[in-house]
Amino acid sequence: MIQIDVERKMLTTDGIRKLEVCVEIPQYELVCLFGRSGAGKTTLLRMVSGLFKPDKGIIRIGDRIVFDSSRKINLSPQKRNVGYMFQDFALFPNMSVEENIRFAQGEKDHKAVENLLETFQLIRLRNQSTLKLSGGQKQRVALARAFARKPEVMLLDEPLSSVDMELRLSLQNEILASHQLFQSTTIMVSHDKDEIKRLATRVMRIGKEKVVAFENPTDL
């Protein structure tokens, strides 16, 4: 389970606003984060990953408290074991597909790399520079790399925003399949209602300031 009960001031186009989030996400869920632009979806993901520090509150992942303002606990992103897939995929241009995945491993595990390359259909591309990949291929590498560290929580920040409709459907299947395979509790930002209905087990809607509530994807 992930417990998030935090506050953080955000600078938006409407001035400074306070984002308040108080939710508990059960283990293995694939939760879609939904809300208008600037509502704080990415800010929330960054707070969970440790890239942003909340002003106050607590974040617990399983049994571990990764942030607690009252006890001055703030684990660095390196210590949280949270996978993060950025909108731009952030693949390392100086490394091949395989090197990107190997880099992510804590301890070298050749078999695990082979499994990931196979799972994400990257065997043929393993030695290719990431600069030469298509949008869909980049996404598969980014997913494989994020899973290489076996994260407890996977955060996907609009992973399908830059791909066309046809590719989108096949990549949605891959996200679904990898979520089922690796069983990481997943929070995914999406604006697409069809996509949410297809993938999410729950929906978290960020309203003007607060995370309003969990919703059933079919209720959107």
Site for other proteins in 105-134 (CB under 8 A): 106
Q: Which of residues 45-64 bind other proteins (CB under 8 A)?
A: 49-51
Report the residue number, 19 or 82, with the smaller CB distance to other proteins.
82
Residues 179-218 within binding reach of other proteins (CB under 8 A): none
| DSSP class per residue in 131-192 | GG--HHHHHHHHHHHHHTT--SEEEEESTTTTS-HHHHHHHHHHHHHHHHHH--EEEEE---
Helix ranges, the chain (H): 41-49, 97-104, 110-119, 135-147, 165-182, 193-199
Q: Which is nearer to other proteins, 28 or 86 (CB)?
A: 86
Number of residues that bind other proteins (CB under 8 A): 26
Among 11, 93, 108, 166, binds other proteins (CB under 8 A): 93
Per DSSP, the three-state class of 127 is: coil
Question: Would you state the structure tokens that stand for residue 23, as one six-digit string?
Answer: 């939710």
**By CB under 8 A, is residue 75 in contact with other proteins?**
no
The identity of residue 100, as a single letter, is N
Interacting residues toward other proteins by CB under 8 A: 49-51, 76-84, 86-88, 90, 92-94, 103-104, 106, 145-146, 148-149
